[in-house]
Structure 1
Amino acid sequence: MAAVWDDLVEFFFNADPGYMLVESCPATLYRRVYGTTRLFMMQNSWNCNLWGEKRLATPGVIIDGTLRTTRLTELNAGIEEFTDKAILEQWRHARVKTDPSGGALSPLHPWNKRLNHRSGEDASFKQTHPNASPRWDRELLETGPMARLWVTALGGKLKNEFIHTFRNVNGAGLEINLPQIPTAGDKTQMGCPVRPNALERNLARAYHIAYSGMIALTYLLKAFDCLQRRETAMSVPYRVPQQSIGAGFWEDGQGILTHHTMIVDGRLFNYQIVAPSDWMGSAHTPSGRPGPYEQAIINTPLLEQFKSPEEFTGIDILRAIRSFDP
């Protein structure tokens, strides 16, 4: 699949370099932890930065092509949600002012979020978006398979027998070694693109099939090792704390999916989710910057050939939006 998409992308770029500009955005990407990762922060104990960077897809944020951080504490603390264009009221009270490691949090952090709809005089035609608009360090970010692979490549922290990061004169990338099961093994390489565009997103999604397959094989082999050692337990005892705060760092097919929770008196007090569609489909923030979907349409040139409005199909706009897998 990856090899086929390599040929397709090269064909389109050679046929018309304008395809490089279909939804061409700044290299500003967001990536959370891959797979079944969860975290509960108990009082002042929070070692997530250590195990976060050991995950089989590195967490991190890329701003304008530069890796800003791979620390989960910084990724969590940088999240804010704005409601200027949303049908939600802006919450005012910051119940949580610091994270368990002592880092300062914005009043707009999901731990402080309250879902109250605007009503009466506060509601107007300007507030039409159903959700708040998340940003990280006030930056507009994109998430998804391309972000996962790009952050992992630039991070250079991955340790896996099948997947390796590399750097050469052309930049950073990933080498995926396919095992000799059942035929001869092979390897494929993906380099980081100069900037995101529609075809590069589709190419990354194809490479992510190979990447995910090798991650699945890694855990299958670990499961076999556990069975050989007769380690067959499927769960461990857990007691819900009386007071705690927590965050779950997950991903689905579209990208980052985070859960932010508070427990008070042994009960769930606040539970907020920030989904990939919240990031990608977000509205304008106070700075006036649109979300990735809207920015994609703004940045897309019309390469389609047509002589009249009736002949126009909007295929270039469709390519841009579909590349996000909405």
Structure 2
Amino acid sequence: MSADRIVVDPVTRIEGHLRIEAETDNENRITSAYSSGTMVRGLEIVMKGRDPRDAWAFAQRICGVCTLVHGVASIRSVENALDYPIPQNAQLIRNLMSGAQYIHDHVMHFYHLHALDWVDVVSALKADPKATSELAQSISKYRNSSPGYFSDVQTKVKNLVESGQLGIFANAYWGHPEYKLPPEANLMAVAHYLDALAWQRDVAKLQAVFGGKNPHPNFVVGGAPTAFSGGPTGNGQTTMNDLGMSIVRDAIIQMQEFVDEVYVPDTLAIASFYKDWFERGEGVGNFLTCGDFPAEGHGDPSSYLIPSGVILDRDLSTIHPLDLTDPEQVQEFVSSSWYDYEDGKDVGLHPWDGETTLNYTGPKAPYKFLDVENDYSWVKSPRWRGKPMEVGPLARVLMLYASGHEPTKELATMALTQLDLPITAMFSTMGRTAARTLETKIIADNMMTWYDNLMANLVTGDLSTFNEDLWHPKSWPKQAKGVGYMEAPRGALTHFTVIEDGKLSNYQAVVPTTWNAGPRDAEGQPGPYEAALMDNHQMYDVNQPLEILRTIHSFDPCLACAVHMVGPDGEKGVTVKIT
């Protein structure tokens, strides 16, 4: 660890491989930061020449966490290219599956990936279980709040510590002076960490009911692969029946209860001890959403729960329109990335014209530092009209707030009033974390509406979930272009397809972490990760870079999505065939 350049590699508690390098001054303030995706995927190359109807099955394998959302984005790109409408039931099923992905993913992120940046597990050993119970009952009516319950959790942690095998709690900076929670709050959070592990097993059943399995649930271009029987079939789950819908309803109730009684109260309680983190980690100040959760099967943007648009320079009074098909609006740059473009590294390409030409020019392993004056990442740098954009929960909550969505305004006002903070406090590391919690509550509150609407359709006899009108390639145009977009848990997700003679001739995925983790562009503009680390970060101890982890984890990185599977010499690593 260098005193003037801090290296965190790998950044753990994320999906994929991320390296952060940060330069500091003589007072340990971060003056420059660099974000590097250190693995390469090449899925765009794998896609060429394939049947567009099969693309979703490959796209899902981009990531082991966000499997569902890549499948949906891929299918939507093909449906968009072919002008292929889907039934309303199919859209409601997609909303339910995507909403469940949000809730499951955000709770897992908060407790199992991000909370340990704020919660000192070892400190929980000093807590008084009775006082912990009183604290928990003062903020929530959650059933697991008795002194005996917290005493049992404390004993589990004590046994781990005394055995010298902390297991899931190993390799953290316990005792770091920047941990500010009292022992009782730490014990409460550790207990809820363990509860969330059990909770997630049950709520994941929703994906399996509609998609046949989880992870990597099944999808289909033209709708949803769910056939409704109209009642119990008694022959397994080849079709959806009353039992399946009952499991879905129970999962939604479990989601809502945990969000309302545990996740929201815990976030506000923890945030109250870290109000200084509402003053650092802002980033670029520009935010982008592509919109999602249509109320109608045809996907009319006016029916979206989350609207699309762009917010520039923190100005919530103006929402700029977003057109993903406009090559003047959306471009990807490789000025600091290990790729080449035919017309030069400083040009920007719209994803329909995107190129995936690998060219690693970095240092040979093992190396001490990246060559940040040249190329230093496998992540590209997307821009909207030349500007870096943050995507994700904060962008969505700000977009909902700016567009006048009353439930969002009420939730944000409640949280900020309780913390005695202005709306501008959301432009921060802790604001990003709080926004993720608020949007989880918003989506959880909409889940039962989507479920009820689906049930209402079924009651009237509308069992349609698939439109086969354009399923056969002979009905397709000779050439077609499409963009499939959705709001994945980590942010705006877009898949761009070019179809020629019934096959994919180009495929590009511009994913949330590409927007957020991208390196500097041709103008020297840092990406959101880099900019956030350069906003008011003074390290207490450069050998324990807790501050870096807090801000990077607030974005919930998914580098498997952002990097573009090849061997060390560029050869194919695996051949996949569908028979």
The one-letter amino acid paired with 2:396 is: R
Aligned to 2:538: 302
SS in 1 for 2:305: coil
- Which of 478, 488, 509 is equivalent to 1:252? 488
Q: Name 2:377's counterpart in structure 1.
A: 129
SS in 2 for 1:58: coil
1:73 to 319, 323, 335: 323
> Which amino acid is 1:86 matched to?
S
> In 2, distance between residues paired with 1:74 and 1:144?
17
* Count of aligned positions: 270
* CA deviation after TM superposition for structure 1 residue 266, in Å: 2.3
Q: Which residue of 1 aligns with 2:313?
A: 64
Correspondent of 2:443 among 198, 212, 216: 212
Separation of aligned partners in 2, 1:21 and 1:75:
36
So what's the TM-score if we normalise by structure 1? 0.73
- Kindly provide the amino acid, as one letter, of the partner of residue 287 in structure 2: L
Quick one: structure 1 residues 206 and 277, their matched pair in 2 at CA, closer, same or farther if it must change by over 3 Å? same
3-state SS of 2:520 partner? coil
Equivalent position amino acid for 1:290 in 2: P
Identity value in percent: 24
Query: Does structure 1 residue 143 correspond to structure 2 residue 391?
Result: yes
The alignment partner of 2:395 has SS state of helix
Counterpart selection for 2:549 from 315, 318, 321: 318
Report the 3-state secondary structure (helix = DSSP H, G, I; strand = E; otherwise coil) of the residue aligned with 1:53: helix
1:21 maps to: 279
Task: Output the CA distance in 2 between the equivalents of 1:38 and 1:114.
Answer: 34
- Which residue type is aligned with residue 467 of structure 2? V
| Within-5 A mapping of 1:78-93 | 78-92=329-343
Coordinate RMSD, CA, aligned: 3.1
Amino acid at match of 1:152: L
1:4 maps to amino acid: D
Deviation at residue 81 of structure 1 after TM alignment: 0.6
Q: Point out where structure 2 has 5 or more consecutive residues left out of the alignment.
A: 1-262, 362-369, 417-421, 558-579
Distance 1:31 1:119 in 2: 31
Secondary structure of 1:250's counterpart equals: strand
Give me the whole-angstrom Cα distance separating, in 2, the residues matched to 1:114 and 1:213.
39
2:429 maps to 1:198: yes
Q: 1:299 to 1:212 in 2, by over 3 A?
A: same
**How far does residue 235 in structure 1 lie from its aligned partner after superposition?**
0.8
Looking at secondary structure, tell me which structure has more strand per residue.
Answer: 1
- C-alpha distance 203-195 of structure 1, shift in aligned 2 (>3 A): closer
Does the 8 Å contact 2:339/2:359 carry over to 1? yes
Q: Which amino acid aligns with 1:154?
A: A
Q: Secondary structure at the match of 1:73?
A: coil
Which stretch of structure 1 is more off in the superposition, 225-234 or 238-247? 238-247
Judge which range, 281-290 or 64-73, deviates more: 64-73
Change (3 A) 1:81 1:130: same
Q: Using the alignment, how far apart are the partners of 1:294 and 1:147 within structure 2?
A: 17
Q: Distance in 2 between the 1:66 and 1:253 partners?
A: 24
> 2:424 matched to 1:174?
no
- How much has 1:80 moved relative to structure 2? 0.7
Alignment check: 8 A CA contact 1:300 1:317 kept: no
Distance 2:270 2:467 in 1: 48
* Cα offset, 1:4, TM superposition: 3.3
Going from structure 1 to structure 2, the CA distance change for 1:263 and 1:37 (only over 3 Å counts) comes to farther
Q: CA deviation at 1:210?
A: 0.9
Q: 1:67-90 CA deviation, whole Å, 9 max, x = no partner? A: 554644268541111111111112
The answer for the alignment partner of 2:214 in structure 1 is none
Structure 2 residue aligned with 1:2: 264
Q: Secondary structure at the match of 2:272?
A: helix
Contact conserved, 1:250 with 1:258, CA < 8 A, in 2?
Answer: yes
Q: What amino acid is aligned across from residue 264 of structure 2 in structure 1?
A: A
Cα distance in 2, alignment partners of residues 213 and 59 from structure 1: 20
Q: Structure 2: how far apart are the matches of 1:32 and 1:262?
A: 20
Q: In structure 2, what residue type is equivalent to 1:73?
A: D
1:115 aligns with 2:356: yes
Please say which structure displays the higher CA radius of gyration.
2
Q: Cα offset for 1:22?
A: 2.9
What is the CA deviation profile of residues 172-212 of structure 1, one whole-angstrom value per residue up to 9, with x for unaligned ones? x5236xxxxxxxxxx96678434521111111111122111
Pick aligned residue for 1:54 from 303, 308, 315: 303
> Partners of 1:37 and 1:259 in 2: how far apart?
21
Query: Shift of residue 148 of structure 1?
Result: 0.9
Q: Is the 8 A contact 2:397 2:439 kept in 1?
A: yes
Q: CA deviation at 1:92?
A: 3.5
TM-score normalised to structure 2 length: 0.43
Distance 1:195 1:91 in 2: 41
**Letter of the aligned partner of 1:256 in structure 2?**
A
User: What's the secondary structure of 1:289's corresponding residue?
Assistant: coil
Pair 1:272 & 2:508 matched? yes
SS of 2:383's equivalent in the other structure is strand
